[in-house]
Amino acid sequence: MNKPGFPVLCDGVVKEGSAREILGDDEVESLSNDGGVSVDSGGYLANCEAREKGKTRYATFSIGTADSSSKIVQQTLHDDLFGTAASAPLGAGWPGTLTMQGRITADATIVLKCGPGRPDYLLVDTKLQLSSIDTSFSSDEERLGLARAAAAVSKEANEKWECGADLGRPIRHAPADMTKDAPQPLSEATGTCRSMRQLAPAAKKWGITRAIGTEAVEEAPTQDCLLVNDEGKKVYRLSTLSGPLAQGYRSSSGVLGEVNGKAGRSEQSSGWAWASAKCPEGQPSALFTAASMRIGDEDRLEVSPAFERDLLKAFGSDMAALHGCEKPTLP
Q: Bigger pLDDT: 270 or 203?
A: 203
- My answer on whether 145 and 201 are in the same domain is no
Phi, psi of 116 (to 5 degrees): -55, 140
Helix 16-23 × helix 140-160 angle, to 10°: 160
Is 126 a member of any domain?
Answer: yes
Q: Which domain holds residue 135?
A: 10-64+85-160
Is the pLDDT score of 40 beyond 70? no
Three-state SS for 218? coil
Most confident of 8-17, 45-54, 95-104, 322-331: 322-331
Q: Where is the domain boundary, 94, 125, 160?
A: 160
pLDDT score for 197: 97
Question: How many domains does the chain fold into?
Answer: 2
Helical ranges in 240-304 per DSSP H: 243-250
- My answer on whether 102 and 20 are in the same domain is yes
- My answer on whether 101 and 195 are in the same domain is no
Is 179 a member of any domain?
Answer: no
Q: What is the CA radius of gyration of the chain?
A: 19
Planar angle of CA 14, 19, 25, nearest 5 degrees: 145
Percent of the chain topping pLDDT 70: 89
Say what the pTM is. Answer: 0.90
Is 76 a member of any domain?
Answer: no
Is 53 a member of any domain?
Answer: yes
- My answer on whether 295 and 201 are in the same domain is yes
Task: Look at 204-218, 260-274, 298-312 and tell me which has the smallest mean pLDDT.
Answer: 260-274
